[in-house]
Amino acid sequence: MSDKDLQDQQPTPPSGEKLQKVLARIGVGSRRDVEAWISQGRIKVNGVEATLGLRVDLHDAITVDGKLIKRVEAAEATRRVIMYNKPDGEICTRDDPEGRPTVFDRLPRPKEGRWINIGRLDINTTGLLLFTTDGELANRLMHPSYEMDREYAVRVRGEVDDDMLERLKAGVMLEDGPAKFTDIQKAPGGEGFNHWFHCVVMEGRNREVRRLWESQGVVVSRLKRVRFGPVFLNSDLPMGRWREMSQNEIDILSAEVGLQPVALPEMNLKAKDRLERMQRKSTRPLGRGERVRTLRPAQEGGAERPARAPREEAAPRKGSRGSTVAERPSEMRKRPARAEGDKPTGRGRGKPRG
């Protein structure tokens, strides 16, 4: 048999690109979102209901819920990321049948694509949420294989001893499988039976932090995410406000999951001025009328609230906590030891601060 015959017998490589990857890249949704929509029959290609694994090219017409997706090359090359300090009472969905406020209500509207939330926080959890217009970046940051750790500040009510902390780090069995904190550090603050901790998890499972503590018979009374991977929530971003990340910050975050840098789109003077005005507005604390509170159940059995311990003299407020986005771990390991008294510019991953 000739070489030509062998070549003729080899299978032709599939043409095009997987549908979920295309739609994720242009910001229609994350890969998980798109796969779910395909399974629900919400996506059609050239008028035919799409199937998982379907490949498409630039000549194919794609619709989601009957709306034609515009595939502009400029939009595919855009990667924007914003940080949002989520307040209590907002849910991580675009539309809520009950009419509750959502995390998308306060975000700016992107010119191309749409914001994709990188993970979720439940309605009573506050703190750092990331949003991007790049579905591939969102997918990688959420995928367990990239091991993006999440750090939380948590206040628990009840007796906490060293044995309990060791069990939580060693791992406990929850209803959806084993879970653990990769690290726990005691934090200052708390009165009586209330204790503050900083703890780290490597997954984004539903209510995982709360369920881990509840498995030990204590109650989480406050929960705030303060870090996602290399991105820290600094004190200069008020609750309920957002900030767009810089090109350098986005490049560091992208490199964490093996993506090449993509330049932010050029803006004219009018667009820059508008963004600066929005950024200035987003740094102001929420007004009283803008705040949302969720109703919490009354204490069971009419139990009286325990008396507060005397308040200690307030310590002076700390300044900035350093860089919003930490350096790459590989670069941090190369740094010389910090001299005593030097102020750090960023923190390593995996260990809570506090």
Residues linked to residue 63 through DSSP beta bridges, in sequence order: 44, 68
- For residue 278, give both structure tokens: 């929005």
- For residue 73, give both structure tokens: 């090359």
- For residue 56, give both structure tokens: 């498409």
- Whole-angstrom CA distances from 230 to 243, 251, 253 are 16, 11, 7
For helices 247-256 and 135-142, angle between their N-to-C axes, nearest 10 degrees: 50
Give the C-alpha separation, 327 to 345, whole Å.
9
Give the C-alpha separation, 42 to 49, whole Å.
8
- Whole-angstrom CA distances from 207 to 155, 180, 201 are 15, 13, 11
Give the C-alpha separation, 174 to 295, whole Å.
27
Residues involved in catalysis: 122
- DSSP assignment of 26-37: TTS--HHHHHHH
**Cβ proximity of 55 and 18 under 8 Å:** yes
Q: How long, in residues, is the chain?
A: 354
- For residue 192, give both structure tokens: 């009586």
Q: Where are the alpha helices (DSSP H) in the chain?
A: 3-9, 19-25, 31-39, 73-76, 135-142, 162-170, 208-214, 247-256, 269-282, 329-334
As separate numbers, helices (DSSP H) first and strands (DSSP E) second, the chain gives: 10, 17
Nearest 10 degrees: CA dihedral of 101, 276, 73, 46?
20
Instruction: Please state the separation of Cα 218 from the chain's center in Å.
Output: 26
Category of 274 on φ-ψ map: left (φ > 0), alpha (ψ -120 to 50) or beta: alpha
